[in-house]
A and B are shown apart, each in its own frame.
Chain A
Amino acid sequence: MSETISTADSADTGPLAPAAKRKRPVGFYLAGSWLGSIVLLGLFGALLPLRQWDLASYDYLGALPGTPGHPLGTTQDGYDMLSGLINGARISIFVSFFAVLFGGGIGALIGITSAYFRGKYDLIVVSIFNIMLSIPNLVLSLALLSTLAYSSPDKPATLQRRLIILILSLTIVIIPILGRIARASALQWSSRDFVVASKSMGTRNFTIIRRHILPNVAPAILAIGFLAIGSVIIVEGSLSILGIGVPGGASWGSMLANGRGNIAFSPHEVYMPAICIALTVISSNWFGDYVRSRLDLREAKI
């Protein structure tokens, strides 16, 4: 009898509850394979025998999908859609992945320490988070980007510099979002007996945070991190459409921005990057949702 109680209890408290052989939903496989192929194409797409994405071919202006040599057609300016999309995948995934990685890392560090130490530090952190969260994502990143990107007019804004600044401002946007999640989760774990028990053995605070709190908070950050990748892709796209994201049709968002004017003549110029953005966002949401429900303690089945 005590056996059943103890198993029930452990499933309630442990993110590492026995891996039940549950059937994964179809959406998980679809989302996973889309995300996987996007990442693979982003990493190794440059090795494929395709046209250079930024080399216009003036024989094919606004060719429709299915044209020989241009399987997904070309833009009105003669750029190949397929290689453009693959290059866009690289940029979009790169930007959103690193923004979420840095933002999540810094946010988790701030959130966990503020939940663990409480006091004035916590109060200041929460206030700053709340102020940042009260500004809409797009507006905040717009403000950050425009102040950071155009500081010196003499220097040419190279793609590299623009990307770094874009990642930096998106990182700042992500910090309070993931930081708050980390804080909420760490708050719950910091008062657990095993933290007090470890403290009562004379373990130092940062050792406790690293060994006892971080492993328990990590699943929550991971799940929300996947959701955040989707939002960051959208924000990046919106910034590009507004003309201050990635320039020159390099990312999906900026392909959309460039093709916007030609929608009447070559609609594929608009809907193809749009579909890519939509599928990636939906996939990362599904994936994140799955990870969350898999680790969500209240939903855990025994």
Chain B
Amino acid sequence: MTNLLEIEDLSVGFRTPRGNLQAVRNATLTLAPGESIGIVGESGSGKTVLSRAVMGLLPSTATRTGSIVYQGREISDLPRDEVRDLWGTGMAMIFQDPMTALNPTRRIGSQLSESLVVRLKMDKGAARQKSVELLRRVRIPDPEGMLRKFPYQLSGGMRQRIMIAIAVSCGPELLFADEPTTALDVTVQAQVLELLDELRAENNTAMVLVTHDLGVVAGHTDKIAVMYAGDVVEYAPTKRLYASMKMPYTEALLNSIPRLETPTGSRLPVIEGRLPDPTKEVAGCAFADRCPYVSEKCRAEKPPLMDAGDGHLYRCWFPIGGVN
């Protein structure tokens, strides 16, 4: 099977007054059609930048190197117009905050049919019919009435469904979901994720799910890339990652999820310290200052990406469970 998306050696930096801010370093990922990958990491680890870099939605201060192959075609050096032809019909994005990602001055119907009219050249009647069908697919009650509503009349979960309907309206093959559930409460989160899974199954859509919640990705992805300070530090099939994680950082992330069985009153484990300054290059492992297993070698030399077999890659000198 040929891959839908192949990212190789993708690096993204931003020119800032304080110098070059390296947001993503040499990321290499692949995605097959219909597959879903979770990109996990704390705030500032580069996961959003990575997904936007693939789409080509970076601000003008960003510099991007490396190769992005989409459907066997190199798209990283395509002119703007040709990349735009891929947007919507090839790749689409679901945004994090449904409160700000809808235009407050326009009705749902006109926002939903916009890309249908602009991209698929549908006439008004067909676009309206398709909009109703899309709203029905994202389980919105009374789709006809919904077309006339303004975003302020809807709750967060409803708006996120609308966002999803817009993103899938042109039948994309690859869906970027940038923290699609972060702004929602837990019960709605689960519904939205299930909805995404159903839609993907219907059309065999691949998905890049960006989140900081390892609990969210566990049930909804085929593989996971854990990012830390711009590096992909662990990359493995989802089941394998949870069964035998190698990176101390992944372990620390997992430990900081609150669980039902922890006794009342006990403190939630946190990862002490903070991310290193992204405008400075770190000599050794970027996680060294926060790692419980740190040793001298970690500070002196940056670990390369190592292979544990079965497509499990990690970036640590002293992985959990030892080197195979």
Contact = CB atoms under 8 A, between A and B. Distances in A.
Interface in A14-49: 14-18
B163 A197 contact: yes
Contact of B115 (A6, A7, A16, A201): A201
B104 A201 contact: no
B152 A202 contact: no
B99 to A, nearest CB: 5
Contacts of B169: 201
B166 A197 contact: yes
A221 to B, nearest CB: 14
Contacts of A14: 104-105, 150-152
B154 interface: yes
Contacts of B101: 193-194, 196-197
Which of A2, A15, A197, A200 is the most central at the interface, judged by chain B CB atoms within 10 Å of its CB? A200
A24 B5 CA distance: 58
Interface in B120-150: 150
B239 interface: no
A118 B60 CA distance: 10
Contacts of B84: 202, 204
A192 to B, nearest CB: 6
A13 interface: yes
Nearest to A1: B185
A187 B311 CA distance: 45
A98 to B, nearest CB: 27
Given A193-B95, A211-B114, A6 B87 contact: no
Contact of B155 (A3, A199, A204, A212): A3
A216 interface: yes
Interface residues of A, number: 33
A9 B106 CA distance: 16
A76 B205 CA distance: 85
B92 interface: yes
Interface string B93-121: 10111011111111000110011001100
Interface in A197-222: 197-204, 207, 211-212, 215-216
A203 B106 contact: no
Given A193-B95, A200-B92, A16 B156 contact: no
A2 to B, nearest CB: 6
Given A201-B92, A212-B103, A215-B105, A7 B152 contact: yes
B308 interface: no
A119 interface: yes
B294 to A, nearest CB: 39
B88 interface: yes
A10 interface: yes
B74 interface: no
A216 B105 CA distance: 7
B55 A200 contact: yes
Which of B96, B102, B105, B152 is the most central at the interface, judged by chain A CB atoms within 10 Å of its CB? B105
Which of A5, A7, A194 is the most central at the interface, judged by chain B CB atoms within 10 Å of its CB? A194
A282 interface: no
B170 interface: yes
A11 interface: yes
Nearest to A214: B105
Given A199-B57, A200-B55, A203-B114, A2 B155 contact: yes
B152 A200 contact: no
Which of A15, A118, A196 is the most central at the interface, judged by chain B CB atoms within 10 Å of its CB? A196
A118 B118 CA distance: 24
5 contacts: A2-B156, A194-B100, A203-B114, A211-B110, A216-B105
Interface of A: 2-3, 5-7, 9-11, 13-18, 118-119, 192-194, 196-204, 207, 211-212, 215-216
Given A2-B185, A198-B114, A202-B85, 7 more contacts: A2-B156, A13-B100, A192-B100, A193-B101, A194-B103, A199-B57, A199-B87
